[in-house]
Structure 1
Amino acid sequence: MVKVSRSLDFGNPGGCVLSLDYELLWGVYGSHTKETYGANILGVREAIPRLLELFERYKAGCSWATVGFLFYDNREELLASFPSIKPTFQNRRNCNYTFIDNIGADEKSDPYHFGFSLLRRIAETPQQEIATHTYSHYYCLEEQCDQAAFAADMDAAVTAAKRLCVTLESIVYPRNQVCPTTFDICRERGITVYRGAGRHWFDQPSARESESLGRRISRLSYSYLPLGRSGVVDVNHHDGMTDVPASRFLRPYSRRFPKATALQLEAIKRDMRRAAREGRIFHLWAHPHNFGVNVNENMDLWEAVLVEFAALRDQYGWPSLTMAEAAKASVQL
């Protein structure tokens, strides 16, 4: 399959950027298991096709940061793709190779670990970018980053993406652990765009063990509150890389606290309007598995965001951009 790039009129320096981290169970090991989080993972089978339908209906692009393991159909192909150099984390729960014995034979028998059919649907949908979430969901800040292991991981990610004729341009670091010492490795492989941390102190990259209760509470509170101009960001160029910073994390619908979901939506809309008026970037991100339960309510939430985007696009010429497109637009203007 050959991806055809669309022609864009970059008349507005800003735009609405969406990014989703496509991980399945590989993204939550260490904090969840199939038993504790399986419903969310299985719900991705419904959530992703419905998200793609919404994106196509509202002509919205999205960058799907995909764990490299998900480019394979079955256990045999996946095992054959493993790099010879693997992470050597002291805490083995930080390393997804630790959980390989958990996987089944293929996607039909094990929808928790395999998701190539969904990835094909993403690739076939207009305006979608397939980015990398590293090959193995590699954590760069949990322990000292092993440069050789990370380079091998990225080589495997590039090779995996070729199975869909995808040339990777963008990376989302797992747990948003942006690591400048890895930029040379990414750039040498043609990956020059990344999702940077938000503007607040509680969003700055850190290891999980450095996550204080105060940081977690502040981050949660911010999801539902408008804080100044915090959701409006600019693309930054440095060290041969382009940072498309995150604005807000989209939290799923809450049956217990529906008013909180309404507050979150209003905060998002407020930031989007400001970004559109000023010709700036608003970058919303999430994980598909966040929406794997309460799927109907979560799709209503997404549609409300996209309705707002479409109105702002029509009023201000504020476009939808993938991460790679946002990087290109910032250079051209």
Structure 2
Amino acid sequence: MGSVVLSLDAELGWGFHDFESPPVDRVEAGRRGWSVMLELLEEYDVPATWAVVGHLMLDSCDGTHADHPAPPGWFAPERTEWRNRPDLRFAPALVEALFDSDVDHEFASHSFSHVLFGDPETDRELAAAELDRSMDIAADWGRTIESFVYPRNDVGHRDVLAEYGFGVYRGKSPTHDGVRGLFDSIVRSRSMLVEPAVDEYGLVNVPASLFLFGFEGPARTAAESVWADPMVVQARLGIDEAARRDGVFHMWLHPNNLTDPRDDERMRAILEHLDRRREETDIRVETMGETARRLENGRTVDGRVPSVEYDATELSSTPSD
């Protein structure tokens, strides 16, 4: 029997502050989507890994962060277009709501300010600063962090991650999103399960299986008009496969993907199916941290602990933000 993992990249404005023309609907939907997802996960009692940008846990700042080795202009939006938008920069109330949830969610890191760890301009000092500040802020809240989700899934500086005491991260997906992913999973019956593995730094890589908002726009509308929401179909297939076989089905999204009620219904349909399958079978619903601990305890297929090796192509960024 397999398991299902759900992770969320909670970032508000920080997911787009380096965009010249950020998607307005997504930027404005972050707080709404955060609250909706907390309510849905509580309704269906589904624990998830919430990877939170550390800056959101601050109440205020000077907008300069002079002691942070970020590239010139990295924090400029805080002093310009975001100057009067604290709702995009800070979210202590939303983080508090996450901690107060009746569901035992995992609190994870999404860096301090959404720096891309795989970018050639992100050196070791910058990566360390992002982790250091995130952990310090979490400590101020009385929290520790075990899991890390790379901004834009841009994997890099895993050695620094290990040095700062992290134990698990979400790795690059071996499957595909969008039309190609739909074709692979439905037409070619390609598996969406992934196998967590321990890398050379002792970190557990829990790869992503499916980005739940990878099939949008006119294609989604057309598919729904003649068939069904393609992402719900894929998610159900992955959940059903995990109920039959060993392996992990790892779904992920951003709260800001929930821009309207249609998106809410997508997530409700997926969670409802997961809840039903959990009642009918022995399928596990677990967080990234729980998956890692299970792996480290040797409770894997055939009792073995798989390892993973990387090459440069495997560490390239994925298109999802």
Please give the TM-score of this superposition, normalised by the length of structure 2: 0.82
Mind listing any 5+ residue stretches in structure 1 that lack a counterpart? 1-11, 204-218
Query: What residue number does 2:312 align with?
Result: none
**Residue type at the aligned position of 1:289:** N
State which of 213, 218, 233 in structure 2 corresponds to 1:266. 233
Q: 1:32–1:52: structure 2 CA closer, same or farther, 3 Å change rule? A: farther
Query: What residue number does 2:167 align with?
Result: 192
Write the mapping of 1:76-91 to structure 2, written as runs, cut at 5 A: 76=62, 82=65, 84-88=67-71
Partner SS, residue 262 of structure 2 = helix
CA contact (8 A) 1:87 1:150 kept: no
For 1:270 and 1:39, locate their aligned partners in 2 and report how far apart those are by CA, in whole Å.
29
CA contact (8 A) 2:9 2:254 kept: yes
For 1:230 and 1:28, locate their aligned partners in 2 and report how far apart those are by CA, in whole Å.
32
CA RMSD of aligned residues (A): 2.3
**Is 1:307–2:272 an aligned residue pair?**
yes
CA contact (8 A) 1:42 1:111 kept: no
For 2:49 and 2:292, locate their aligned partners in 1 and report how far apart those are by CA, in whole Å.
12
**Is 1:28–2:16 an aligned residue pair?**
yes
For 1:140 and 1:302, locate their aligned partners in 2 and report how far apart those are by CA, in whole Å.
29
**Is 1:234–2:211 an aligned residue pair?**
no
CA contact (8 A) 2:26 2:256 kept: yes
Query: What residue number does 1:210 align with?
Result: none
For 1:281 and 1:309, locate their aligned partners in 2 and report how far apart those are by CA, in whole Å.
13
CA contact (8 A) 1:60 1:320 kept: yes
Q: Residues 250-304 of structure 1, C-alpha deviation per residue, up to 9 Å, x if partnerless?
A: 117857433256122112211211112103210001111111x21x211111111
For 1:60 and 1:123, locate their aligned partners in 2 and report how far apart those are by CA, in whole Å.
14
Partner SS, residue 75 of structure 1 = coil
CA contact (8 A) 1:132 1:172 kept: yes
**Residue type at the aligned position of 1:97:** F
Partner SS, residue 50 of structure 2 = strand
Query: What residue number does 1:71 align with?
Result: 57
For 1:310 and 1:100, locate their aligned partners in 2 and report how far apart those are by CA, in whole Å.
41
How far the C-alpha of 1:24 sits from its partner, in A, is 1.0
For 1:149 and 1:55, locate their aligned partners in 2 and report how far apart those are by CA, in whole Å.
34
Write the mapping of 1:60-209 to structure 2, written as runs, cut at 5 A: 60-76=46-62, 82=65, 84-88=67-71, 96-102=74-80, 103-104=82-83, 110-125=86-101, 126-179=103-156, 182-200=157-175
For 1:255 and 1:119, locate their aligned partners in 2 and report how far apart those are by CA, in whole Å.
30
Q: Residues 50-81 of structure 1, C-alpha deviation per residue, up to 9 Å, x if partnerless?
A: 211111121111111111111111234x75xx
**Is 1:224–2:195 an aligned residue pair?**
no
State which of 249, 253, 271 in structure 2 corresponds to 1:282. 249
Query: What residue number does 1:46 align with?
Result: 32
For 1:252 and 1:113, locate their aligned partners in 2 and report how far apart those are by CA, in whole Å.
26
State which of 235, 243, 246 in structure 1 corresponds to 2:208. 246
Identity %: 26
**Is 1:17–2:5 an aligned residue pair?**
yes
For 2:254 and 2:28, locate their aligned partners in 1 and report how far apart those are by CA, in whole Å.
13
How far the C-alpha of 1:46 sits from its partner, in A, is 2.3
CA contact (8 A) 2:128 2:160 kept: yes
How far the C-alpha of 1:245 sits from its partner, in A, is 0.5
CA contact (8 A) 2:192 2:209 kept: yes
Query: What residue number does 1:321 align with?
Result: 286
How far the C-alpha of 1:131 sits from its partner, in A, is 0.7
Please give the TM-score of this superposition, normalised by the length of structure 1: 0.79
Find runs of 4+ consecutive structure 1 residues off by over 6 angstroms: none
Partner SS, residue 17 of structure 1 = strand
**Residue type at the aligned position of 1:185:** V
For 1:314 and 1:280, locate their aligned partners in 2 and report how far apart those are by CA, in whole Å.
19
Q: 1:245–1:148: structure 2 CA closer, same or farther, 3 Å change rule? A: same
How far the C-alpha of 1:326 sits from its partner, in A, is 1.0
Aligned residues: 287
